[in-house]
Structure 1
Amino acid sequence: MSSSSNIFQPVAGADNAPPSQIPMGPKHPVSPALISDSRSSPYQTNKFYANLFLGNATAPAWTHPYSVWWPKGSGNSKSYGLAIAHNERSQLTFGPETDHESVRYYINPAGIQSLVLSATELGPSTSMTVDSLDAFSVNANFATANGSKPLLTVPLVQGMGYVTGIYNGGTPQISSGVCFKAVVGPFQIDDNTYKYRLELDDGTTWLAYAVPANGSDYPQFNLTTTTHLVAPSKWSGTISIAKNNLGEDGEDIFDASAGVYPSNLKISATANGNTGSYTYSYTKCGLISKTLLMFALPHHVESFDSATAGCKTDITLVTTTKGNATAVVKDSWTMVESNLPACMGFAPWSPEKGSINSVSAQVQSKIVSAAQSELAQNITAQAYINSMYFSGKAFAKFASIVWATHQLGGNTTLAASGLKLLQGEFAKFISNNQINPLNYDPTWKGVVSSAGYKDSGADFGNTYYNDHHFHYGYHVYTAAVIGSLDPSWLKSGTNKAWADMLVRDFANPVMDSHFPFSRGFDWFHGHSWAKGLFESGDGKDQESSSEDMFASYAIKMWGKTTGDANMEARGNLMLAIQARSFQNYFLMESDNPNQPPQIINNKVTGILFENKVDWTTYFGDEWFYKQGIHMLPVHVPSPYIRTKKFVQEEYDVYMSDGRIDQATGGWRGLLYANTGLVNASAAYNYFAPDDFDTSLLDSGASRTWYLAMFAALGGAS
């Protein structure tokens, strides 16, 4: 079993440039013009704050439980600072009903300017820029004009308990598009901190805490209109805003931490066999003698160690799509996962049996027979195509066939011939001779398809950093299988460096000079975000939880194959966190406590955005598309992520009584494979006939693998 005292160790050869066959690409079509970061480190592309530097920079960012955005003079406030909102469940809009006692979607309202941190000097010429783009944080800066020194800087950190503005000599203004009903204060709560209680026309209560810098007076706010509170001019210090829905008890808790705020978050993690833990350590600013108040998501709270759990408060604020966030008064948190899939390898696996490395002689014969047919297919036609995604699926399919033939089928001769074919086709991609070669993007610093420089949507937006974990995960898994069956391949040419490059692009364990830290996987949310450099009014999103899972499994197995214990342990911990977060937010059992009950019978969220959940897909609206995109590929880690309770409930809602056969093409085979997670015999018997209709197999699936997997899980009598 893998062990690591620090899973965030660089990949071997880290900070090396991509292999020489990956050319430097042209300037990226999306300009980082609004990024004023003086650091030379790579920019994050898929993080929560990307809307602040994309498009017209007015779409929101979600720190949870708050959302913030640049109103740019719009709305009732007419402000040019940073707007702040928090929505309640009662404000949700629900879509039309489906035919299974659920609704199609829910969405949170947008543009409600509960409060806006601003300054009277900010107006139509205001410039907003961002800097310090880290994995969990960013600074938003507001200046009177381009090139001017910011009057207001707001550090945005995931889970922050207050929205804090740092003022530098301007005239602070707190505005409200909802309008002020009453403003009470100031109350001096300690030597440095002054408090105002802000009651809005919508019935909500907010708290504003001001801490003057040396040389600035206490901020006497004056209500000049029903929408504007204005403080003295030439004032420096901090103003922190928090929503209080717990009355006096909540106010006492907020008072105790007022004036201290986080500027960023650092993560550390360890893993030892089946147990792993990860810790958030916040950098404090302001009144650092106080303890931070931060908000935790449900999957955090479930896994808190005892010390962190003891610092929970009674304050909760609902998030947009992740249930209730809980306020925690502690400068660092530790979460523990005690069910890491450390014993999981390439072989079929289940929670009850672990890895299953042998099958009966009768099943071996079936596996080899299926493999003989499938390895005779034209691998070039399936893999040498103009899509990193679909080529990756094809490679992973053939890799699974070869592995099953060798290890479970016991036919090493057939497996060797298949491996040779696979290596030959895979070499075209490693040498960058595929239809759309990869480029290294010097603007955002990543490896992207050359297909999208003229068409942003080419290959699902890969050139704009969409879906890299989906696309590259399949390739990394293929490399892991090849390297495990032929260790000499790892030492040949740039084979290993090429696969390492893909890992560094979408899941780098450190920030180096060529790739950012963890581009895709969000260590705060516990899953990846698929959307890259596209402005989105509803924020980042993720469609396929199962392909996110497979990417983490690929990292684990590449680490195992190459002897990188830190990478293997990191993949194990990512899988454990995903199992928890998916079951909390994406894969909804009947008693799911986090999603609105109106959508739970959809069983899967469909596309989960930061601001809405929409039971649909990007490619069609058939029910089996929506369910199936969260299944594929049905593979080794599927039983770990998808609980038997969930699979059975989903089957009962959609597929029982023969309705599974409504699915067409490869979707039908996928759905039958998924049933094997609760009924391995039914799945095995479905794929076992020699005259099985192979048109019912997904492009990334094979009879060989399914027969091996479901026989191993107990499906073959």
Structure 2
Amino acid sequence: MAQETASADIFGAHIATTAPAASFPVRKDHPVPRVGIDGLTPIGTNKFYANFFLGEQTSPAYVHPYSLAWARGRGASSSWGIAISHVDANQRVYGQVRPETGAARYYLNPIGIQSLCLSAAELGDETRLTTDNLASHSINVNLHPSSQAQPIITFPVVQGMGFVTARYRAGTPVINTGVFFKLVTKTIKGPKPGVSKYTFRLEDGKVWHLYSYAEQGDDLDLQVVNNGLARSRKPFTGFIQVAKDPGSFESLLDAQSASYPVGVTLSGTISGTQGSYTFDFQKAGDTNTKLLMYALPHHVASFDAETKKAVTEAQLQTTTKGRATAVVADSWTMVEPNIPVAMNFAPWDPQAGPKDLSDEAIRTISPVALKEISQNVDQQANQSSMYFSGKALAKFAQLSYTIHDMLKNSTLAQSGLDSLKAAFIRFSENKQQFPLYYETAWGGLVSSATYVTGNDGADFGNTYYNDHHFHYGYFIYAAAIIGYLDPSWLTEANIDYVNGLVRDIANPSKEDKYFPVFRNFDWYHGHSWAHGLYDTLDGKAGTVPEFF
């Protein structure tokens, strides 16, 4: 038997690097301003960190297991720094129980708990928050004393980070809490050369450890001012890290302190039905110390043999993904042994593969198919909404495929296909009721509906980048079936149009300068996010069922 060879990096190739199709008018403005964003590259509008540049920039970013929010002088701490929170399972509030299932109707994780805030004495009511190095899994969050000043603190934020790290540039560190200090202790001898350590026991019974490393000048020397404030006696240049103790794992935190992640490189390969993907973490600080990162349950279940060796017993609760597990490694590799590479448009079973219809099923379905394919696809698809238009096109595409391949009626299928292609032209030429714009402010294809009507919820928020992955997914699916049934339809113009939609939601490459990398899909969480450019206290909304 011939041995399967692994593919090259599946994320290494771009779809295209040319400008979107000329049929998309270019807009240089967007209803939502880019607040505090340094740089002009396309921005991941649906990423975990979006609240740092939306609204008042104060809603939480859920990094997992921690959440971070700019306190902005508010809350119990009155801090001007970044507030750090972690919620345990026993802090949840559950809704009414359904009698038929015994399951709660909902549960809530409390927000606004400011366990520790990393700030500086120089920050106040003129503080400005900016972001830079915005990537798929990471971002830098900067706090400036004023709009004209350079940042005095930078937070490199990476999904799954074990420590929250703040880099100080000659600022005077201030540690605030909205939970209040019960006991603050300083370790006489730091856990490693050059590292100072403080332990904060809070009134809620939780324990947090703080580590500092001076890159210039004196070590951090904190003075507890009151039960809500500790302040450095002098300016500090270096970095401070805080981590919640998962319980009896202080020595683990000590050992991995002084190293922190600054970015992630994603790569992946396919060999037969086995796929693997790897997170290579870029790090700073003590580069000889391996990173402490938290993995979600689906990561741990898929770790390869080498990554499994780095798994520890330390765990922290997440808001929606179960318990995250601490891993001491600079890279993770996850293996998925049964990738459904044989899946196509036909009904499919994980064990049996594609399925055909029985003669009896064909006889039963055929008259219904005739009735449904005779409906007016152009009328149903001519909507003011890309979402509903796409659903109509996808419905008739699926009908055409079913009639052709499953019912074996090529004549009837051709009739439906011809009507479908005619209806699709309105969209491929961008002549629908609200044509799409390519807007350069954020970098993407959006409905013109909000520009025209002023309604930010028009077409379910398409202009604000909500739900593109299934709005456009229906069009991509319909186009795939048209191209399968009629390869001559795959002209350069049609391919360019469809690829523009694909690039908007799932561009895999930084080489494409017109769209962000993976607008919707989050490779850390393993699913897509909706919600777009809306400031929301509970973060992004997870969406799976309609994503093509």
* Structure 1 CA distance for aligned equivalents of residues 496 and 5 of structure 2: 22
In structure 2, the partner of 1:268 is 267
Structure-to-structure mapping, 1:56-455, within 5 angstroms: 56-100=56-100, 101-186=102-187, 187-214=189-216, 216-247=217-248, 250-356=249-355, 358-453=356-451, 454-455=454-455
Q: Evaluate the alpha carbon distance shift between residue 443 and residue 367 of structure 1 in structure 2; reply closer, same or farther with a 3 A threshold.
A: same
Cα deviation code 1:598-632 (max 9, x no counterpart): xxxxxxxxxxxxxxxxxxxxxxxxxxxxxxxxxxx
> Contact 2:42–2:440 at 8 Å: present in 1 too?
no
The Cα of 1:223 is off from its aligned counterpart by: 0.6
Unaligned runs of 5+ in 2: none
Deviation at 1:433, TM superposition (A): 0.9
Q: Tell me how far apart the structure 1 counterparts of residues 280 and 12 of structure 2 sit (CA, whole Å).
A: 17
Q: Which amino acid aligns with 2:488?
A: S
Q: State the 1:367 CA deviation.
A: 3.5
User: In the alignment, what sits opposite 1:533?
Assistant: 533
| Residue identity in the other structure for 1:75 | G
Corresponding residue for 2:481?
A: 481
Whole-Å Cα distance in 1 between the matches of residues 377 and 75 of structure 2? 57
Task: Tell me, yes or no, if the aligned pair for 1:387 and 1:459 is still in contact at 8 Å.
Answer: yes
Alpha carbons 1:138, 1:155 under 8 Å: kept: yes
- 1:369 deviation in Å? 2.2
Q: Is the 8 A contact 1:11 1:500 kept in 2?
A: no
TM superposition shift of 1:243: 0.3
Letter in 1 for 2:68: V
Instruction: Give RMSD over aligned pairs.
Output: 1.4
Corresponding residue for 1:501?
Answer: 500
* 1:454-499 Cα distance to aligned partner (Å, 9 max, x none): 1110110000000001111111011110101111111x25101111
- In the alignment, what sits opposite 1:515? 515
Distance 1:418 1:2, change over 3 A: farther
Q: Could you give the per-residue CA deviations for residues 106-131 of structure 1, whole angstroms, max 9, x where no partner exists?
A: 11111111000001111111111111
SS at match of 1:494: helix
| TM-score, length of structure 2 as denominator length | 0.96
CA contact (8 A) 2:35 2:54 kept: no
Higher relative contact order (CA 8 A, sep 6+): 2
- Provide the identity percentage: 46
Return the offset for 1:359. 2.9
Instruction: Verify the 8 A CA contact 1:204 1:245 in the aligned structure 2.
Output: no
Superposed displacement of residue 164, structure 1? 0.3
Letter of the aligned partner of 1:519 in structure 2? R
Asked if 2 retains the 8 angstrom alpha-carbon contact of 1:44 and 1:519, the reply is: yes
Tell me how far 1:409 sits from its aligned partner: 1.1
| Aligned length in residues | 540
Deviations 1:413-467 (A, max 9, x none): 1111111110010011000011111110111010011112211101100000000
Letter paired with 1:149: Q
AA matched with 2:466: N
Structure that is richer in helix per residue = 1
Q: Residue 97 of structure 1: CA displacement?
A: 2.7
Counterparts of 1:189 and 1:104 in 2: how far apart (Å)?
Answer: 46
Between the aligned partners of 1:75 and 1:437, the Cα distance in structure 2 is 44
Contact kept? 1:445, 1:515, Cα under 8 Å? yes
Tell whether the 8 Å contact from 2:221 to 2:234 is kept in structure 1 after alignment.
Answer: no
Distance 2:62 2:233 in 1: 30
2:279·2:332 contact (CA, 8 Å) conserved in 1? yes
User: In the alignment, which residue of structure 1 is the partner of 2:21?
Assistant: 19
Bigger fraction of residues in strand: 2
Offset of residue 225 of structure 1: 1.2
Q: Distance in 1 between matches of 2:273 and 2:517?
A: 25
How much does 1:3 deviate? 6.7
How far is the alpha carbon of 1:510 from its aligned partner? 1.1
Which residue identity lines up with residue 279 of structure 1 in the other structure? T
Counterpart amino acid of 1:411?
Answer: N
Kept in 2: contact 1:11–1:504 (CA 8 A): no
Q: Relative to 1, partners in 2 of residues 1:369 and 1:177: Cα closer, same or farther, differing over 3 Å?
A: same
Q: How do 1:554-573 and structure 2 match up within 5 A?
A: none
Q: How far apart are the structure 2 equivalents of 1:426 and 1:368?
A: 25
Q: 1:256-288 deviations in whole A, cap 9, x for unaligned?
A: 110110011111011122110000001110111
Residue type at the aligned position of 1:370: V
In the TM superposition, residue 542 of structure 1 has moved relative to its aligned partner by 2.2
Give the distance between the partners of 2:31 and 2:202, measured in 1 at CA. Answer: 43
Report the counterpart of residue 9 of structure 1 in structure 2.
12
Q: Is the 8 A contact 1:297 1:325 kept in 2?
A: yes
Partner of 2:165, secondary structure, is strand
Aligned position for 1:652: none
Taking the aligned partners of 2:55 and 2:372, their CA distance within structure 1 comes to 47
Equivalent-residue separation in structure 2 for 1:11 and 1:329 (angstroms)? 32
Helix, strand or coil for the counterpart of 1:224?
Answer: strand
Distance 1:239 1:58 in 2: 22
Contact 1:2-1:342 at 8 Å conserved across structures? no
User: Please, which runs of 5 or more residues in structure 1 have no aligned partner?
Assistant: 552-717
SS at match of 1:546: coil
The 1-side partners of 2:99 and 2:375 are apart by: 41
Cα distance in structure 2, aligned partners of 1:56 and 1:494: 42
1:645 match: none
| One-letter amino acid matched to 2:482 | I
Q: Using the alignment, how far apart are the partners of 1:2 and 1:393 within structure 2? A: 38
Q: For each residue in 1:190-209, what CA deviation from the matched residue of structure 2 results, as whole angstroms up to 9, or x when unmatched? A: 22211111111111111000
Report if the CA contact (8 A) 1:274-1:340 is conserved.
yes
Structure 2: how far apart are the matches of 1:114 and 1:363? Answer: 61
1:315-342 CA-to-partner distances (Å, cap 9, x unmatched) read 1000011110000000000000011101
CA distance in 1: counterparts of 2:77 and 2:431, whole angstroms: 55
The residue type paired with residue 540 of structure 1 is K
The CA distance in 2 between the partners of 1:328 and 1:493, in whole Å, is: 47
Alignment check: 8 A CA contact 1:168 1:236 kept: yes
